[in-house]
Chain A
């Protein structure tokens, strides 16, 4: 009974990512969208939070939102997977519920 969590806020401005990852259960997935993808870049102060999420489940970033913000696939934290909108739909279908951390 896993959950897909969407995060659309920059971790440098809001606590959505931290709050989300604090409520993950094993097998859950986090999808960073919109400004949330700013947390997907390696080398930032948000890496530890993302790595903690990767330990309990999967972490995805929406590719069109990364591209729009100049974040290249090579810039991503290791383990973070890129999905397009179709992949977003698949994630929603694969998990029993979706929780938006607005």
Chain B
């Protein structure tokens, strides 16, 4: 079965991203396909490579990036939500005259249409938020 995952909260403040991560990992282990993981609202903050959590805590961005790399996941950060919250890739940074970009490995920035498309293509869509 093909599953689409929506993550609406950033790391640490809410558990949503953790739950989504464990769910996605379990789905992959059971042989399901992941159509896309779409990060929306504060969920875009999962895609910054600049977080430095304490050594004794989980690094959610790293966990997502590693899971994405291992399984070739399409992990999309919503462009409109990302711009509001300062998540930029190199192209976006250049376009808006910012001096740095911070998108983490394995994430890409794209439009909200990717969320609707995932809903159309997947057999199930699961929302994780707060």
Contact = CB atoms under 8 A, between A and B. Distances in A.
Asked if A and B form a direct contact in the complex, defined as CB atoms under 8 angstroms apart, the reply is yes
Interface residues of A, number: 20
B14 to A, nearest CB: 8
Contact of A88 (B23, B125, B127): B23
Contacts of B130: 8, 102
Given A33-B19, A86-B29, A102 B129 contact: yes
Q: Is the interface of B mostly helix, strand, loop or mixed?
A: mixed
User: What's the interface size class on B, roughly?
Assistant: 20 to 34
B32 interface: yes
Most chain A beta-carbon neighbours within 10 Å: one of B15, B124, B128: B124
B22 A85 contact: yes
B49 interface: no
A100 interface: yes
Contacts of B23: 85, 88-89
Interface in B39-65: none
Closest 7 CB pairs of A and B: A85-B26, A100-B127, A102-B129, A85-B22, A34-B15, A89-B27, A86-B26
Interface of B: 1, 3, 8, 15-16, 19, 22-23, 25-27, 29-30, 32, 124-130
